[in-house]
Every structure is written in structure tokens, then in C-alpha cells.
Chain A
Amino acid sequence: MKSTLTLGPVLFNWPAERWRDFYARIADEAPVDAVVVGEVVCSKRAPFLAPVMDEVIARLAAAGKEVWLASPILVGSDRERAAMRDLVESDLLPVEANDMGALALLEGRRHAVGPFINSYNEATLAWLAGRGAVAVSLPAELPAASVAVMAKTGAALGLSMEVQVFGRAPLAISARCYHARAHALHKDGCQFVCANDPDGMPVSTVDGQPFLSVNGTQTLSHGYLALAAEIDRLRAMGIRRFRLSPQDLDMVAVATAFRAVLDGARSGQDVMAELRGMTAVPLENGFFHNMAGAAYADAPAA
């Protein structure tokens, strides 16, 4: 069965022109099948992308990409609720729900369940499938044993099951903006300091050890989650969708490399070596191997 390579939403605060140009290049050059777009982290950033959103969607669709709109991760304030409602009610494109509120509004419509909804077991999958979900992207912290059960159950339920295979692992979301806090600002007067860090703000321990990455209200791993060497195993489990989360590096090259693994043209280990050459950021696969997420299992068992 064919595997789908998905490009997840850009999580970082990129200027609108850069964001538009990024997707133009993805449309023209990246061998991805599906692209999820939208501002999922901070409702204050969304207005900057709005003027170029239609152009980006049209460009991706014209290139034959399956385009999804991502709903925000945390929806509490009035502004966040309004953004969520607008997104769902626009009814232009299928929506990937990242909060239970969006899922509520999508009942009876074809939709995907994003990685920010807690899908931890087969009973939850059955409930989600019963409400009209067609695809579920699993949380990054699930170990292989759980992924295997989820892939098998999901297939039986007719769900297309997805795992993130590249990019910083999302670890937490908050009402508080840590970018603003690090700059002694409040969220309401944040001056959009998160735009200074297009790949997230590095956070190290007191000892100077790289640890986390802050993206406004979101906290991510410092390392890039990378499961290129686990792709065969994921496929054998029944995983059919493979998600790349955009980082500040050549994502066309990343997509091309993962596509080659999916096509059987290159080994996962070969691609891991290429990724190491592209970035100084460490690669991590600990969650999948039931270790600390920050760990790397050097020779994954087949």
C-alpha cells in the first residue's frame, strides 16, 4: 500500500513572505503528498499569515498536494475560540483538529485528528473513528509497542494512521508565553519576539547543555526527532502516513530523503547520516524506543 508523506504545519513565527516562499518551494519541489497549513501555536500570529493563506493553499493544491487546515492547539480565550470557529466553518478544506473543541465542531464531516489530541489507545481510536475521523496523527511520546497496537486497530477501523518521523518533538503548550517571559515582556505586549527564533529559542541547562526549544507558548525538544531508520518497522506495523515537521533547514532535501526511504531507494541509516550532515542539532528517537525522548538508540532493533 502506498505511503503518504505529510508536511505538518510550520510551528514557528516566520514572516509571511518567508512562509509563502517556503510553501511555494514545497509545492514545486518537495515530494510530499499532503501538507497541513495554519498557525497552531499562537492566535496573535495568525493575522500576519492571513493575507497570503489563500495564495499558499492554491499553490499547493495546484501542485497536486492534499491540503489540510490545522486547528489551534490551545483554545481558551475569545480570540482563540473565534479563530477555531472561523477555521471549521469556512468549510473550504478538510480540517486537522488539534483540540477537542474543533473536534466537536467537525462532527459528521471528514476530518483528521492531529497530534495534539490525546490518542493513546485503541478505545480512543474507535471513538474517534465513530465520529468521522479518517486519519489520526499519534502523539510523539508513544513507544513502539503502543504504535503497533494503534496502527493495527486504526487500520481495522479504516483510519489512516500517522507518526511524526522528523522535526522537534512538541512537548508542551501553555497559556503563558515563554518567549515573552524570557524577554521580560507580557504576552499581551510581546513585541512578537518569537520571530527572532525561526527554529525556536534554544534553552540550555545551567551547565550549558542544550535541552529544550521555546516557541512562544509552546515547548519543543531541542533535538530533532528522526525516525528514518525505523520506517520499515513502522510500515510493517501498518503506519501509512509519515509526518515531517518543518524546521529552519532545507525541508525539500529532508522530504526528498524520506521519500527515498519510503520508495525503498535508500536505507534509513543512509538518510540519518545525510541529516547529520545538514544540521548540528542532535537527532533523537528515544520516545519510540521507550526511553527518555531525548535519547538516541544507535542501532534500532528491527
Chain B
Amino acid sequence: MGPFELICPAGNPAALRAAVDAGADAVYLGFRDETNARNFPGLNFSRPELAEAIAYAHARSVQVFVAINTYPQAGNLAPWQRAVDDAARLKADAVILADLGLLAYAAKHHPDLRLHLSVQASAANAEAIRLYREAFGVRRVVLPRVLTVPEIARLNAEVDVETEVFVFGGLCPMAEGRCSLSSYATGLSPNKQGVCSPASHVRYEPRGEALASRLGGFTINVFGAGEPAGYPTLCKGRFVPGGGTSRDPAYLFEEPTSLNALALLPELKAAKVCALKIEGRQRGKAYIAAVVAAYRRALDAFAQGLPVPALDLEAMVEGGAQTTGAYTRAWR
């Protein structure tokens, strides 16, 4: 197999151009509505913007994947089906889907459209992946962040499907697409509306010298004076295990940390992973340009057998902390 493909996020046309110019092999993006899992205000692409983005990328031999990876609403399938139709019409190189009904629709109506299985489908074993392959012709699976690298290697030995894994950016500690924490606190969920811990439900409350971050009716964290206050993503908050005030609050689910699997390139290559994915469609073009360029340099060096340069990305990761997440067993 060839070198790793580098799959990069874009939340708007400027970010797409930045990713393409910095060395992406493919850019993934979504339409400006609830059909994609990064449905944030001011983000994503209109149909004309997608057409322009594809022209810009294809002129530079870069692919464009369209994420249509929320779960269509019962009784209202049209926006999701139209998104697949439009991605096909505008010559996207692949669509990234999660819902069984939408996969069936795409396979039936667009037999030539390349289908990728979204991380939101959480296909974590060979049996599941073979089913998506046989039933819908899925060509690539974005693996959920629940597997160790040895498990990925064993999985790849058993399936005739390309695999793509996240290597950098935000990290869900929960199996993706199987989490209703956000809708429990706010009514809005990744699966239904494409949002997690939405800004519309976030409030910051001063408490003397401290600052509390709230999501819906719940306090997600309290930051002391001088402590940098992070965004209250529910699973990255401080909570009291055991309940009440029995113990000190702790990062029960995950610390405010970012995934960085750069150190695992040799293992991921040996595991026969095809593509490496950077998270962050909500990020600005400067971030995208810096992260993509750094990973491009690293992958080029790796492909040539040269030492992989360290990434100067400390300023860009959440809370300054990095993790290799579920790829190493101790994370569990």
C-alpha cells in the first residue's frame, strides 16, 4: 500500500483553501445544516461553495469528502437524501455516512458514488465492517476511537475495506454516534442535530475569583483564579464520582486534552491503516494551515524513512495536553 493519505477538516471555504495549500490529500466538510455532525453557527458550505471548493481542490489533485453523518430525522428524510444527491451531482469524491437508511439510499440511487462509513456509525469489529461492505459497498471505514493499535491491526487483517483513523485534535472518550450526553443536558445531540454541548446552551458565571461554566442546567466545570477556562464540552468537565460532595471533583471521563498519534506512525503503518484524519472542522484557517502543514512534513519524512520531526503544536492543543487516547491500552 502507498503512503498514508492525510485527511483534513474544513469548516468554510478559507479553511478548505488553507488545507489544500498546506498539503492535504483530501478535505472533508459538510453542508450548512443538520445533515452533518459539526452543525455549528457560521460553519460549513452552501451548494455553490461546495462546487467552488471541489473545483479548487480538484485543480490541485486534492479530493473532497462530504460528511452527511447525522441520523436523518424520522418523517423528514429529504434534507439528508438531497445532501447525498447534491454531493454526487457536484462530483464529491466520497460521502461519509452513518445511518443505515441513508447508506441504503446512496447505494441504490448513486451506485458510482464512493461511500465511506463515518466514525459516527461506530463500527468497531470485523463482522460489522463486513456487513457495511456487503450491504452497501462501503469502501472505507473511519474507525471509532475505542480500538487499540493491535486491535486495528487484527481488524485490518480480516476485512477488505480501507480504514481511516483520527490522529489529531479533539477526542471523544465515548464511542461516537452512541452518546446522548449532550441531549440529556440540552435536548440537542450529535446524532439528531449534529451538535454536542451547543454554544446556545453555554453560560459562564463568575463565582468570586472563580468562573463556572454551565451547560443547560448543569455546572460542567469551575475554574480557579488564573486557571484557563475551557469550553464546557460535557465529557471534558469536572464531576464528583460517588455523588454529592463526597469527593473532590475530577475529570471523570477525560481531561481537557487533545489526541496526537504522531508517535504511532510506524505502528499505524504496520497495522495497514490507509488514511490519517485530523479533527477540527470548527477551527479557523490559521489553525488548519499550521496543523496540516506540520502533519504533511511529518508524513513526508516518514514516507522517506527519515526521522519524523516533532510537531510544534503545543500552543494549538486543548489545555496544552496531548494523549494517544484509546490507541494505547492504558487509556482504558
Contacts and interface: CB of A to CB of B under 8 A. Distances in A.
Interface string A207-230: 111111010000101000000000
Interface of B: 71-75, 77, 98-102, 104-105, 121, 123-128, 130-132, 135, 144-147, 151, 154, 173-175, 177-181, 183-187, 189, 191-192, 212, 216-222, 235, 238-245, 249-250, 252-254, 326, 329-332
Contact of A74 (B75, B100, B146): B146
B184 A121 contact: no
Nearest to B330: A186
A61 interface: no
A262 B249 CA distance: 43
Contact of B219 (A76, A126, A206, A219): A206
A132 interface: no
A214 B173 CA distance: 14
Given A123-B77, A188-B329, A214-B252, A204 B240 contact: yes
14 contacts: A84-B125, A99-B125, A100-B128, A100-B131, A121-B73, A126-B104, A128-B100, A146-B74, A172-B174, A175-B146, A181-B252, A203-B240, A207-B219, A221-B184
A99 B105 CA distance: 21
Label chain A's interface by main secondary structure: mixed
B180 A120 contact: no
A1 B131 CA distance: 35
Given A172-B179, A175-B147, A294 B244 contact: no
A272 to B, nearest CB: 20
A207 B205 CA distance: 13
B71 A206 contact: no
Contact of B180 (A75, A99, A140, A175): A140
Given A120-B99, A123-B77, A149-B74, 16 more contacts: A76-B144, A120-B191, A121-B99, A123-B105, A124-B99, A127-B104, A140-B180, A141-B180, A141-B189, A146-B73, A173-B174, A182-B241, A188-B332, A209-B219, A219-B253, A294-B218
Contacts, number: 237
Contacts of A221: 184
A90 interface: no
Interface stretch (A21-29, A52-60, A241-249, A284-292): A284-292
Nearest to B251: A181
Interface stretch (A5-13, A33-41, A101-109): A101-109
A239 B249 CA distance: 42
B128 A182 contact: no
Interface string A71-95: 0011111101100100000000000
B221 to A, nearest CB: 7
Nearest to A181: B252
A66 interface: no
Given A81-B127, A175-B326, A214-B252, A122 B242 contact: no
A100 B181 contact: no
A202 B244 contact: yes
Nearest to B144: A76
Interface string A97-138: 001111111000000000010101111111110000000000
A153 B154 CA distance: 39
Contacts of A74: 124, 146, 175, 178
Contacts of B241: 178, 182, 201, 203, 214
A177 interface: yes
Given A139-B180, A173-B178, A202-B243, A76 B99 contact: no
Contacts of B121: 100, 118
